Structure 1
Amino acid sequence: MSSLSQGYRIAASTGLHRGDRAYQQDQVMILAHPRVAGCALGLVADGMGGKSGGRTASDQVVMTARQVFDRFAPSEDDPTEMLRLLVVESHLMIKLTAITADEEPHSTIAAFLILPDRSAYTAHAGDSRVYHFRGSDMLERTIDHSYVQRLIDEGKITEAQANTHPQSNLLTGCLGTQQDPPVTLKQLDRLDVGDALLACSDGLWHYLTAKELGAIISALPPRDASEMLVNKARQRARGMGDNLSLALIRLDPMT
């Protein structure tokens, strides 16, 4: 995937691994816009709800995202409204499929959108994350909709303690539940050449610090970086790893 405008190209990679689980319930996708060069959407969806439920939910997120992104006209439509629609429509589609599913399908979502003018936007619900790196430095990341994040916000535990907290997997919001999902939308700082956006599920970020993520993403081409991130998370999980997924985009200078 490449864009010739403004002296950069978009280098991209995805990673997906079952971890040590019996089923793969994560889904991941990077899409180049069908009509507009330099416009791309990346997302991960971490499905939950038994062997069929979780995959049903994450599949719905990916299918809905394709449809919503295909309708999106970057020069006319509001990017945050498109991402909001993506989250809300995914939520409704999961609830519709729940009527026929054996299990209760739920999913997280973490998505980023890049436009040809290098503006970027994120949307998320649940504890899948989007990180923005400049070189190896993290500029920002999404804040999880989770029980342990609430404890961090209240000053009761630290981020380090949250990682080993027995209830670290409890979400305060996601897609497919009875209540409306949280829809957190954000416009990022305009991307510079060399910047990277990483969307990933907790099966990946749980095992790597932001410093480690940034160092690997800035040092290697996206495909090699994806492979190394997955391998590191797998080693550190020590046979207890969750499904893990990532979508990575970097703006590389034209050579």
Structure 2
Amino acid sequence: MDKGYRLSAATGLHKGDRDYQQDQVALLTHARASGCVLGVIADGMGGRTGGRKAADQVLLTARQLFERYDPDADDGAALLRQIAQEAHLVIKLTAIAAEQEPHSTIALFLVNPGGECFWLHAGDSRIHQFRGAQLVRRTTDHSYVQQLVAQGQLTEEEANDHPQSNVLTSCLGTEPEPNFTSQHIASLQIGDTLLSCSDGLWHYFSIEELGSVVQALSPREASELLVEKARERAGGGGDNLSLVIVKVEPPVETKPQRRSTLVPLN
């Protein structure tokens, strides 16, 4: 982006109707580089303590490596891959030591000063890029039902309600090495929104609904509404849920008046 911009952001976390929280979320701001942020979603699996420990490890590794990151000299894609690989290794070692089966999804996005953006994910925690209310791109789940969708055996809607929709083909902590999928965006634009979330949230919304909400509302308002509606739609059977929203906006002094329409969430 050539012209000035500002980032507004929010996170959300709720344990849903589960007895314990295994999701973790963070939005980290760089201590030395203004406009550099790292979003992290980790959806842990593996019993009451195993999943939470795995998700905690993802956040710990992300914080440690992001602190040492220099956006002027270091490769953003390499940073995300290092976070994922190191977290995966430690989670595997934890499993050996504790005789547990801790696993975690991972969804990372890095915004550099100037608007360059990198993504990386493994599992079914998603990252979306919206321009206004329109989806530009999103991650593709590493899951059994996503493979069926790719083969034309299921629609996206059918996959959402499939009894094996929670079966992953890649995540952190597994014996086979995870499959990490990366994305590079040369420059985000004013009006873009990044939304990353676990399946406990995206399961309850269409892409059109998500786009409408992030366009019409501030990140904080959007986060609160999405959590509230996900809880309502879960009907007492909701999973842990987590989300992080980062919105690219004009500088405060030049922000234009904008009309937007929020699609009603019934």
Give the shorter-chain TM-score range: over 0.9
Q: Does 2:220 match 1:194?
A: no
Correspondence for 1:57? 54
Q: Give the whole-Å Cα distance in 2 for the aligned partners of 1:126 and 1:140.
A: 17
Paired residue type of 2:232: Q
Paired residue type of 1:234: R
Kindly indicate whether the alpha-carbon contact (under 8 Å) linking 1:52 and 1:101 is maintained by their aligned counterparts in 2.
no
TM-score when normalising by structure 2: 0.92
For the residue of structure 2 that corresponds to 1:223, the secondary structure is helix
- Count residues with an aligned counterpart: 251
For the residue of structure 2 that corresponds to 1:99, the secondary structure is helix
Identity across the alignment (%)? 57
Kindly indicate whether the alpha-carbon contact (under 8 Å) linking 1:28 and 1:45 is maintained by their aligned counterparts in 2.
yes
Paired residue type of 2:170: G
Correspondence for 2:68? 71
Correspondence for 1:136? 133
Q: Which runs of 4+ in 1 moved over 3 A?
A: none
For the residue of structure 1 that corresponds to 2:98, the secondary structure is coil
Q: Give the whole-Å Cα distance in 2 for the aligned partners of 1:9 and 1:102.
A: 46
Kindly indicate whether the alpha-carbon contact (under 8 Å) linking 1:28 and 1:62 is maintained by their aligned counterparts in 2.
yes
Unpaired runs of 5+ residues, structure 2, are: 253-266
Map Cα deviations across residues 54-94 of structure 1 (whole Å, 9 max, x no partner).
10000000000011111111111111111111110110111
Paired residue type of 1:40: V
Q: Give the whole-Å Cα distance in 1 for the aligned partners of 2:159 and 2:172.
A: 22
Paired residue type of 1:151: L
Map Cα deviations across residues 165-201 of structure 1 (whole Å, 9 max, x no partner).
1100000010001111111111025211111101100
Kindly indicate whether the alpha-carbon contact (under 8 Å) linking 1:40 and 1:115 is maintained by their aligned counterparts in 2.
yes
TM-score when normalising by structure 1: 0.96
Aligned equivalent of 2:23, options 22, 26, 29: 26
For the residue of structure 2 that corresponds to 1:11, the secondary structure is strand
Correspondence for 1:247? 244
Alignment of 1:86-101 (within 5 A): 86-101=83-98
For the residue of structure 2 that corresponds to 1:73, the secondary structure is coil
Paired residue type of 2:128: Y
Q: Does 2:148 match 1:151?
A: yes
Correspondence for 2:229? 232
Q: Give the whole-Å Cα distance in 2 for the aligned partners of 1:192 and 1:95.
A: 39
